Structure 1
Amino acid sequence: MAYTASRKLDELKPSEIVKELDKYIIGQKQAKRTIAVAIRNRTRRKRLPLEIRDEVSPKNIIMIGPTGVGKTEIARRIAKLSNAPFIKVEATKYTEVGYVGRDVESIIRDLMSIAVQQVKAELAEREQEKVALRVEERLLDILLPQVKEDPSVDIIPVGSSYTDSQKTTRERFRQMLRDGKFDEREVEINVQSRKRVGIEVLGQPNMEELQDAMQSIGSIFGNGKGHNRKLTVKRAREIFTEEETEKAVDTDRAIDEAKERVEQMGIVFIDEIDKVAKSGGSGGGIDVSREGVQRDILPIIEGTSVSTKWGVVDTTHILFIASGAFHVSKPSDLIPELQGRFPLRVELDDLKAEDFYRILTEPANAITMQYRELLKTEG
């Protein structure tokens, strides 16, 4: 299935992408240009012949600069602009396989999870009107049970054999329902049980797959069971909306599209990469462990297949952006293989007094603007 990319971004040149970033981020022109070119190259790659396309790999980036200069925000904004799956992780949260910590492949599993939810939300939005209609009909069937002729039919077809009086009553109730006049009325509905196994085990490889399997087993035993509950119409509407949305969204389609997005447009932001570099080239047990983390991260950056509960994900064309302050260590303290996988390096400028003033006044989401809008709500 073809990836549904943001048309707006596909039409933007690097200079125009920089202008979009300028709306939210002050300064850091070089970092913006570097990111913009990397993103534009993804659009260019999609236009290449198939035999060449797979040979073009993303140019991963290391951003160097102290905390607060805009490293994370640049990556987050570009992901939002491109409608790409995005995840931010901290390198220090991941340790060598077999030690306490998370397996680095969980980065890709988490990214895939984000993408699936993102696509499902988009598909649900397209079905919003149909879902609202089905929910409305289900509520009317509860409020007016005698009007419904066939209990197996969820939606009353147009032209059914109701009397004019029954039709009038149903439409009158429909309008009252839309006006919220029944919101606090209690009704009895059948609520499906949603049992989930809430076990999380860290520190051993493949434990997250075990957790997913246990959740699947729990959902199997819970399926088909339900119990009657008395709820307000307002709450019943929320539950019915969830149920009808789940029915309306094609899960297989969502998974296929999410997988395509992750593989072709996914962005992984690895923060604090400097914390897993050797400190000034020294040796010792801590540095050995840090090197182990780097070697574990290396395969997913080089391109490998990661098993997830939605299928196998190829990481070859995922864009990786690493960042760090590098106060103690230097990018050259990373293992050579990892350095080679981040061909682009950009140093972000330190913020000055005038930059802080501009940050407070110029961005579209400036904090002063946020408080101004909040105060407007007080009249």
Structure 2
Amino acid sequence: MLDNNKYYTPKEIVAELDKYIIGQNEAKRNVAIALRNRWRRMNSKPEIQKEIMPNNILMIGATGVGKTEIARRLANIADAPFIKVEASKFTEVGYVGRDVESMVRDLSEQSVQMVKTQKKKEVNEKAEQIVEDLLLNALIPPLKSSNTSNSGNNVGFQSSDQELNEKTRERFREKIKNKELEDRKIEIVVDNNSNPGVGLVGGGVDEVSMMNIQEMISGMMPKKQKKRKVTISEARKILMEQESAKLIDMDEVKEEAVFKCENAGIIFIDEIDKIAVGSGGGKGPDVSREGVQRDLLPIVEGSAVNTKYGVIKTDHILFISAGAFHVSKPSDLIPELQGRFPIRVELDSLTKQDFFNILKTPKNALTKQYSALFEAESVSLEFQEDALEEIAEIAFTINSEIENIGARRLHTVMSKLLNDFLFDVPDVITPNSRLSVTKEMVHERLSGLVANKDYSQYIL
């Protein structure tokens, strides 16, 4: 079942998105409602649950305005399987390339990994205890008790050895717990997963059947083990993965993963404008792009897809698509597919103020990223307010007069501004130095970038 405690309210979702994305309030509101509706449907009356279909969203906007970033951050917020695919990577059934059903299989894989990770956390304490014993046995093997009855002196001597061994083991157990021996090398036995592949010959075998056959053959073959000499730190990681996998019930994992995939899964289809007829460019026949749309339709509409974990019904998977639609229009998509994305959101082009806010406000702002890079070299980097305004002005101007690539333009501008300094650290700019970016510095270093904007259109 879906965990109620992990589902944000729409306002909380928007507040989380606001930490990283400037503006685009309508898009944020719509994805927040769509995400919350997953929880609402699962908490509605059982007889109506199947009838409540997700309102799929089509985001329209120029490149770099935040479409993909909204989807990426949504994945972090949602406690749900989430994948991003590019529509341009798919080909019509019968052509060489990825078929559209593969995105559902990828989503099921993501769902299984999510549930498996959660289950491993639940058995973490028990696995840690087992791993601790294995590490201890590798360091100080326990003495094997002897049942042979010998003279009294011999028995006393064995008892003394046993007692000494136990005391030594307890001392080393404490050292293992306190991670005092992490660099010491030990020999451990690990599962050898590098079984040679089995060649399967013959046509007409689809991808899912192939995976199931390989899994079945792999399960029938005896598991091989090998010895490895590694540090205790490395051994801890290897053995934790191995032992926690043994403690979880994979049938339970698969069952829960299929439920999560069907009822909370989200698929983000980027570059959907590239498969719209009329996107032009003379690359590929229109019929192929229409074919991909026709193949997408039943998946978005609701169908059953075979995966290695079972059949996944796509009726309640939320689909969010996005495209710049520079050349084509949303109406160039086939009508049936358009109808499956009833919520349309147009994202705003970025203003000069937006650029300034992007540099200053988000938790992952470029200025904060560059400050962290300099801080790693013990150099303090600061940006004056008017310097940020000048950077925003330059980025906005170049976007307006050459080509609008949205917030990505800031990466170009910031790189041009700071690359020389990054090169000089730590040889010329020594540790414990302080570097302040001023308006004058920005103007001096980036004036050439603005002056040469007329020539950039000729550069391939």
Q: Which residue of 1 aligns with 2:39?
A: 43
Q: Distance in 1 between matches of 2:284 and 2:373?
A: 52
Q: Distance in 2 between matches of 1:56 and 1:205?
A: 37
Once the two structures are superposed, the pairs formed by residues 79-228 of structure 1 within 5 Å of their partners are 79-147=75-143, 165-195=164-194, 207-213=206-212, 215-216=214-215, 219-220=218-219, 223-228=222-227
Note the C-alpha offset of 1:260.
1.1
Q: Distance in 2 between matches of 1:176 and 1:256?
A: 40
One-letter code aligned to 1:17 = I
Question: Structure 1 residues 212-221 or 362-371, which shifts more?
Answer: 212-221
Q: Which residue of 2 aligns with 1:312?
A: 311
Q: Please list the CA deviations of residues 3-52 of structure 1 after superposition, one character each: whole Å capped at 9, or x if unmatched.
A: 335x2425x1x333222211111000111111112222222212221111
1:19 partnered with 2:15: yes
Q: Please list the CA deviations of residues 227-255 of structure 1 after superposition, one character each: whole Å capped at 9, or x if unmatched.
A: 33333333322221121111122212221
Question: Which structure exhibits the higher relative contact order, with contacts defined as CA atoms closer than 8 Å and separated by 6 or more residues?
Answer: 1
Note the C-alpha offset of 1:313.
0.5
Change in Cα spacing, 1:344 to 1:120, as seen in structure 2 (3 Å) is same
Q: Which residue of 2 aligns with 1:157?
A: none
Note the C-alpha offset of 1:376.
4.4
Mapped contact 1:9–1:82 kept (Cα < 8 A): yes
Residue 167 of structure 2 aligns to a residue whose secondary structure is helix
Q: Distance in 2 between matches of 1:104 and 1:184?
A: 48
Note the C-alpha offset of 1:258.
1.3
One-letter code aligned to 1:26 = I
Mapped contact 1:109–1:308 kept (Cα < 8 A): yes
Q: Gaps (5+ residues) in structure 2?
A: 147-160, 379-460
Q: Which residue of 2 aligns with 1:153?
A: none
Change in Cα spacing, 1:52 to 1:189, as seen in structure 2 (3 Å) is same
Mapped contact 1:3–1:257 kept (Cα < 8 A): no
Mapped contact 1:90–1:270 kept (Cα < 8 A): yes
Q: Considering only aligned residues, what root-mean-square deviation do their CA atoms show, in Å?
A: 2.9
Q: Please list the CA deviations of residues 72-126 of structure 1 after superposition, one character each: whole Å capped at 9, or x if unmatched.
A: 1212222321211110001111111110111110100000101111111122122
Q: Distance in 2 between matches of 1:147 and 1:43?
A: 56
Please, what TM-score do these two structures have when normalized by structure 2?
0.72
Once the two structures are superposed, the pairs formed by residues 242-261 of structure 1 within 5 Å of their partners are 242-261=241-260
Change in Cα spacing, 1:249 to 1:284, as seen in structure 2 (3 Å) is closer
Q: Distance in 1 between matches of 2:235 and 2:223?
A: 19
Structure with the greater alpha carbon radius of gyration: 2
Mapped contact 2:143–2:162 kept (Cα < 8 A): no
Q: Please list the CA deviations of residues 156-201 of structure 1 after superposition, one character each: whole Å capped at 9, or x if unmatched.
A: xxxxxx9654433222011222344433433333222212567999
Change in Cα spacing, 1:16 to 1:236, as seen in structure 2 (3 Å) is closer
Residue 171 of structure 1 aligns to a residue whose secondary structure is helix
Once the two structures are superposed, the pairs formed by residues 325-340 of structure 1 within 5 Å of their partners are 325-340=324-339
Q: Which residue of 2 aligns with 1:234?
A: 233
Q: Distance in 2 between matches of 1:200 and 1:34?
A: 48
Q: Which residue of 2 aligns with 1:267?
A: 266
Residue 7 of structure 2 aligns to a residue whose secondary structure is helix
One-letter code aligned to 2:359 = L
Mapped contact 1:196–1:215 kept (Cα < 8 A): no
Same amino acid, percent of matched pairs:
52
Q: Gaps (5+ residues) in structure 1?
A: 151-161
Please, what TM-score do these two structures have when normalized by structure 1?
0.87
Note the C-alpha offset of 1:316.
0.2
Note the C-alpha offset of 1:321.
0.5
Q: Which residue of 2 aligns with 1:351?
A: 350
Q: Distance in 1 between matches of 2:294 and 2:196?
A: 33
Note the C-alpha offset of 1:340.
0.7
Residue 322 of structure 2 aligns to a residue whose secondary structure is strand
